[in-house]
Structure 1
Amino acid sequence: MAERPPGKGGPEEGTPEYDWLYGSRGTARPDDATRMVPQQDRAGERPDETRIMPAQPRATPRTPPAAPAPKPARTRRRPRFRFGFVKLALLLWLVFMVAVPFWAWSNIDKVDAEPSGARPDDQPGTNYLIVGSDKADDLTAEQQKALGTGPRGGTNTDTIIVLHTGSGADTRMSIPRDTLAEVPGHGTQMINAAFSLGKAPLLVASVEKLTGIHIDHYVELGFGSVINTVDALGGIEICPKTDMDDPRARLDIKKGCQEVDGETALAYSRSRYVSALSDLDRVGRQGEVIGALGAEAKSPWTFLNPVRYWRLTDASAKAIRIDEDMGPISLGRFALAMTGDSRTCTMPNMAAPSDPNRIVADPDRAPAVFKAIINDDAVPKSLCTPTGRARQ
């Protein structure tokens, strides 16, 4: 076995079986026998069969497509425009409710109703004198023909009512037109003659002289006020206690409660020839018609239906006259009082000793009713009767 050259610690250079360690270009250095020779680039060489093959990318398992995410709930926008429309509608409605009565007041005829001479002092509450005249110039030609009346200027008063409003319940006291009373400057007359003799001022003075009640405001109603107002409301209910056939009033109805139009309601309140008490019974029917009008007018439907509200206000404005001092607020209070609950009476009366066909204020019972109104007290029920006659 040949000796190794001195200083050589490894196999001879060029030995094939060690070429993988030292390579073919030299030998390991004596001072670094164990140092690893950096691996040379083997570009173009065939890779060793034992060389670790580069890891192949592992196939990623196929993930099933995710279900589409649910769409976010759509936020519902507040319909602000609707609330704005509602507010605007309410505002217009309120303006309409207030503006129509002011318009009506500006179109109502005004009359001078201030009497001359001494008058009762002011009293608590407010007293309205309501006069129903035969003024027919606010009727159409067809209505005048149906009622058998002409376009008279209103020279007679079929209805005289004192309406009192105050701290307690309202009171409507009717004064029969055949009541004998002192008419200032004309002696004793039927009280309705005061209207034909001196119009509103003389009638106010005669009522104040008879009752001692200070009259604050005057309201005159014509034929048309009943007809057109009832028709504007679509009719009212009346309840005659007997069959009524009165050709003079153009009335022919059966007894019992029934809906009637304006012409029938007016004929019902004018009729005076079908009952024993004549004018006294008529006063009671007039109160019934007024009460039915009030009950129908204060229905919520009147204020919710602008057409009905307009027709009612327009019809009333065209058929009444008021005193020059009555403002829109006073007129509004009058309308509320007429449509509200009130105690309805006829002035306590009795047959006139000098003329059985005429009546006078009952000296025993009438003063108590007058005093209650003057003092803003409730009228005693025992003295408040439909005809004004004492209860039996």
Structure 2
Amino acid sequence: MRTSLNQTIKNPEVFKQQLLCWAQQFDDVVLLDSNDYKDQYSNYDAVLAVDAFTSLQTDYIDAFERLKEYQKTTKDWIFGYLTYDLKNSIEDLESKNFDGLGFPDLYFFQPKKLILIKGDVAEFQYLNMVDDEIESDLLAIEQSSNINIQESKHPIKIKPRIHKDEYFEKVNRMLAHIHRGDIYEANFCQEFYAENSVINPLEVYNKLNQISKPPFATFFKSFDKYLLSASPERYIKKEDDKVISQPIKGTAKRSKNEKEDLRLAENLANDPKERSENIMIVDLVRNDLSHTATKGSVQVEELCKVYSFLQVHQMISTITSKVSEDIHPVDIIKTTFPMGSMSGAPKISAMKIIEDLEETKRGLYSGAVGYFTPKNDFDFNVIIRSILYNETKKYVSYSVGSAITAKSNPLKEYEECLVKAKAMREVLES
């Protein structure tokens, strides 16, 4: 059981920063921040969960069944992540590529302390065992400051896992699969990394969030492992009997010149290659949602709409379905995972080819982070535009990718990857 207390806050932006600074004392921290981005499916402006009471950590074997049992037993808020490699739990697949980060395949925890922000109200939801700490925590939060956070003085030397010529060769091999009819589309990703590197995760997250302002920003800490995410993409959400998926496919750079910027957005909206990418994934998501949907309830609410973020223009579609009460929420995720926007079509064939051509185990990249509520609702983002850090190994990593279709030009795909990587590189090398 949880004790709930509402507190009016003067400045939500300042309060979020204070919350994050205060939260650094805990081993388990999740901040989910919408950066005031509001659409019809928004519930909170930000959510902070800290201090695990119970937790679940596992490899991919029977991972979804274990998560289902944990979620059913807990009957409470749980926060955590699903790595891309949980695909091996669903299909006869494997992940044998290099892994410099070492994140567990699945991790969720039940927070003792939960703070939900909406407008100028912060709702404190504490487990009863710690509810006597709400007042003292509120005082400590209001006194928190990032003034004492040391900036990283060591320059980070970023290296590509796949060099440019090798990237072209691999994309051409993927195009050969497409022309042969093995697949229609696949998301091909590459890692950029730094070894023997020390960063200040809070400082890096703040800089990344500041220059991107995405709707699904995440600061995630589990002991010595960090996810610092500026994701613009929702993977999947359940609210009552409605399920919402919002895949992104199609990217264009921004321009400081207003007319040029508008032209870039219009070009993206009308680009046949980008639209075909998006529509293929919409079809895949419709099929995935149909596994748990009530008959005839899968709908495309929005197709190929261009949204503008600080770093890029993105083409987003919204697909929804209805589910009956007897469908377990974890089964909705299992039957749609990994998300179509980060795999390809047909999904299983695409994932096999991806594994063969990529050099790095994806791990948390192109997985999902989010939460389940006590009412069996959930909301998860797609882990892209994200920096991953293993503090013990001193290993820093970010990955970027693009969708390869029959109309792909390897040079343009490479350039798209660099556009997506721009914010992460700037933050780490500044």
- TM-score (norm. length: structure 2): 0.26
Decide which structure has greater strand share.
Answer: 2
Larger Rg: 1
